[in-house]
Chains A and B, each alone.
Chain A
């Protein structure tokens, strides 16, 4: 109970900070929406942690709800890093294509 209360206080502090940043236009609309949703979902998970414990047990996992959430968060982070790498790889390819095309045009101009 104490842990949940501390977690909720921290989340509320972050939401206030986010609201302040939004008021001073330090975050974009999209960033504001994303972080607000993130903290809202986090607060819901903390509030309903007992229900999550029950759900996790019913599904046959031996860990507690919070452990399963942690595992899921780590898995999500890994998948996001991987997606980011794929996206970077694609961007690198596009940069190379542009650089090569520019070099080819200049080469043809100077070696007609």
Chain B
């Protein structure tokens, strides 16, 4: 099955070359969506063998992944995988996603940092932010070990179905809610994340909630 890995990248020159090199060995094509980077991300991604789309101004990870998904569908992808350009996700985990979708066991696969406990996560994130995220999602009936995971894969049909509107970090929550509402079969697979930086803080979590509510009111 034609598999395309979509990588959202913003000023990821330090990692993007290695990320693309590692990913392209395991998938058919790699699309890097440069989210208005001001560094060498585009050149390095191209040199590593990725197809590169460029958003002229920074619009956020949700927007970059939406564009990448649309381009992947146009190129006939049957499996679309969302991946980060900052080197925190490990390409060695990609086959797990592909296997589940190829076997028809799920329509959407989510990477979870809490299945095999191989991820060394900052304590406040592990014991404060993640339980809060789980609780917030459980209010909507979503019971997953890692609802904020950005490492995900879709079958072609499910990717075409999920039309998320959030441009920035709230896309994660929105994609999950759309998938849940569409009744997609979601399976979690264990992943390892290596943290170079803290990532989403509590203020980021509150921003996600306010963006989600604002979008609901704007419908």
Contacts and interface: CB of A to CB of B under 8 A. Distances in A.
A93 B40 CA distance: 27
Interface stretch (B55-63, B83-91, B177-185): B55-63
For chain A, give the interface size range.
10 to 19
Is the contact region of chain B dominated by helix, strand, or loop, or is it mixed?
A: mixed
B113 interface: no
Nearest to B53: A107
B66 interface: yes
Contacts of A95: 57, 59
Contacts of A85: 214
For chain B, give the interface size range.
20 to 34
A28 interface: no
Nearest to A90: B218
Contacts of B63: 96, 99-100
B165 to A, nearest CB: 7
Contacts of A99: 55-57, 59, 63
A92 B16 CA distance: 27
A96 B71 contact: no
Contacts of B67: 100, 103-104
8 contacts: A96-B60, A100-B63, A100-B70, A103-B54, A104-B67, A106-B53, A107-B71, A108-B74
